[in-house]
Chains A and B, each alone.
Chain A
């Protein structure tokens, strides 16, 4: 089954404790992206990757890191989480040009709470 998987689905942590949210896709997509979704603010892009070893900042990259060492995986790293990073996070993948109409496939989401 074609899918995007994220782990963990739920996470409660404390300020400053480094964490990684994993994302994996099995569709051989070149493009992967991370979004956060907050009430009243909608979906905002954090980082995206056009292909292996190629990443770029989205609209809200501060406090996050990413890496793309393999085509299928795109982990999101929070080196020192803060309460304002409490949010619902989505990973997505698509063929190379989502802006030209390529469908984005979203994972099920990771609900993160930073205390």
Chain B
């Protein structure tokens, strides 16, 4: 079974601060996805990365896929209260997605 370790598990910061969430594995994945989940709702896709070393930017969010395709990071610049939520990484291999346990981010005004 492939495992994805996410860190930190919980993160509480003030509005305007920067943060990075990490997603690590000993397995190689074909793709790495990041989802965001709000209370009472299902996860929603933020980004997919498929090439080792790939970097994608989505406004204040920067996603990176490790060169060896075993790890990924999510960096948020100048966090806002609207960024509050559960961030999940998911490693893909053909028909399966393996999810990390998530990082619960709280951005305080």
From B40, B44, B45, B95, contact of A99 by CB (8 A): B95
Q: Which of A31, A42, A44 has the most CB of B within 10 A?
A: A42
CB-CB under 8 A for A98 and B42, given A42-B101, A42-B102: no
Q: Please give me the residue from chain B that is nearest to A96 by CB atom.
A: B95
CA A35 – CA B29 in complex, angstroms?
20
B42→A101 contact, CB < 8 A = no
CA A92 – CA B33 in complex, angstroms?
15
CB-CB under 8 A for A97 and B94, given A42-B99, A43-B99: yes
Chain A residues contacting B95 (CB-CB under 8 Å) are 31, 48, 50, 56, 97-99
A100→B92 contact, CB < 8 A = yes
Chain B residues contacting A98 (CB-CB under 8 Å) are 92, 95-97
**Residue tally, chain B, CB below 8 Å to A:** 26
CB-CB under 8 A for A100 and B100, given A48-B95, A108-B42: no
Within 8 A of B (CB), among A33-62: 33, 35, 40-45, 48, 50, 56, 58-59
A43→B43 contact, CB < 8 A = yes
A41→B101 contact, CB < 8 A = yes
Q: Please give me the residue from chain A that is nearest to B32 by CB atom.
A: A101
B42→A109 contact, CB < 8 A = yes
User: Any chain A CB within 8 A of the CB of B79?
Assistant: no
CA A59 – CA B3 in complex, angstroms?
11
Within 8 A of B (CB), among A72-115: 90, 92, 97-101, 103-104, 106-109
A108→B94 contact, CB < 8 A = no
Q: How far is the CB of B34 from chain A (nearest CB, A)?
A: 11
CB-CB under 8 A for A104 and B102, given A90-B42, A98-B92: no
B97→A104 contact, CB < 8 A = yes
Chain A residues contacting B40 (CB-CB under 8 Å) are 108-109
Chain B residues contacting A48 (CB-CB under 8 Å) are 95-96
Q: How far is the CB of B4 from chain A (nearest CB, A)?
A: 9
B99→A99 contact, CB < 8 A = no
A-side residues, CB < 8 A to B, are 4, 31, 33, 35, 40-45, 48, 50, 56, 58-59, 90, 92, 97-101, 103-104, 106-109
